[in-house]
Amino acid sequence: MIRFFTSVLIISFIITSCAQKKGHDYVVTIKTDYGNMVAILYDETPKHKANFIKLAKEKYYDSLLFHRVIEDFMIQGGDPNSKKAQPGQSLGNGGPGYTVEAEFNPKFFHEKGAFSAARLGDQANPAKASSGSQFYIVQGKKYTEEELTQLEQNIQYGRKNQYLRDVLGLPECADIRETVMEKQREGNSQWLQSFFEQSDTLIQQFKKEYKPFSFSVEQKARYMEVGGAPHLDGDYTVFGKVIKGLEVIDKIAAIQKGPGDRPVVDVRMFISVEEMSKSKIEKSYGYKYPDSK
């Protein structure tokens, strides 16, 4: 309880201390030997935005590695243990000693250039809390409409199946669970399939947050146009976007990797943040803010 309360205080302080002027925003510049990437962070994910800005201002990220790189997927960094890591050393478990509460927003998804928070897996982290410092930038790949439709169905099936398993494990559902187990012993696949298809109401009775998964029209359009990693949507917090230097992601993703998808030649980052007016950001980088007239 003490550790959790401390984390809340830390994040609350960060948000207060990193407030920006009205009509202004922060520009994040990530310098590498392969070129620079420029990103903006979303106001709608305030805890992630404030935390990242605080760490960047403290030079926390300077000289850290992109320690995990997978072509057609993403490049990941932010592990403080990578700063002085030896060749071949396993990385990916380091952080500042706290996590950041998940801030999922359906407006933001894993298109190419998405700036997202890494985290521990669901089994050890059911709340899907983000790493305090590790992040990844999406490269992904382009999809056809047919591929997205199939992926959408696969994601919905997997998530619904997990929700249903959780619900059937509740004491209140003991009778239903016993019936399902009986039908499984009988091998009554037709009944089981029908039960699964009609189980949305049962799931929502106990899991108010559950709703069938589907990609928005905008998501499908972007995944077909620029690509991304749609299978991550709704599971990891997207809190920003690269607005210049997408080609740098491609260069880093293509380099030779060793065990653990770590680049054979170290790829270091140096991150700076600069506050400037939104109008200047739009003029300098061609990014259009949604609320801009």
Q: Is residue 71 part of a domain?
A: yes
Residue 293 has pLDDT above 70, yes or no: no
Q: Is residue 212 part of a domain?
A: no
Distance CA 114, CA 227 (A): 11
Q: Does 271 share its domain with 175?
A: no
Residue 237 has pLDDT above 90, yes or no: yes
Q: What pLDDT does residue 19 have?
A: 64
Distance CA 273, CA 50 (A): 11
Q: Does 33 share its domain with 122?
A: yes
Residue 155 has pLDDT above 60, yes or no: yes
User: For residue 130, how many C-alpha atoms fall within 13 Å in the half-sphere facing its CB?
Assistant: 28
Q: Does 34 share its domain with 56?
A: yes
Q: Does 43 share its domain with 169?
A: no
Q: What pLDDT does residue 23 have?
A: 87
Q: What pLDDT does residue 290 have?
A: 85
Tell me what the mean pLDDT of segment 249-272 comes to. 97
Q: What pLDDT does residue 29 have?
A: 98
pTM score of the predicted model: 0.86
Distance CA 178, CA 2 (A): 40
Per the structure, the complete domain to which residue 176 belongs is given by 146-206
Q: What pLDDT does residue 102 have?
A: 96
How many domains does one find in the chain? 2
Burial class (CB in 10 A: 0-12, 13-18, 19+), 255: middle
Q: Does 87 share its domain with 183?
A: no
| C-alpha distance from residue 165 to each of 199, 213, 214, 257 (Å) | 11, 17, 20, 38
The span from the first CA to the last CA of the chain, in angstroms, equals 46
Quickly tell me which residue has 């949604």 as its tokens: 290
Q: Does 38 share its domain with 160?
A: no
Let me know the angle formed at the C-alpha of 126 by 132 and 211, rounded to the nearest 5 degrees: 115
Q: Is residue 7 part of a domain?
A: no
Tell me what the mean pLDDT of segment 231-247 comes to. 96
Residue 252 has pLDDT above 80, yes or no: yes
Q: Does 159 share its domain with 137?
A: no
Distance CA 260, CA 67 (A): 9
Q: Does 202 share its domain with 248?
A: no
Q: Is residue 222 part of a domain?
A: no
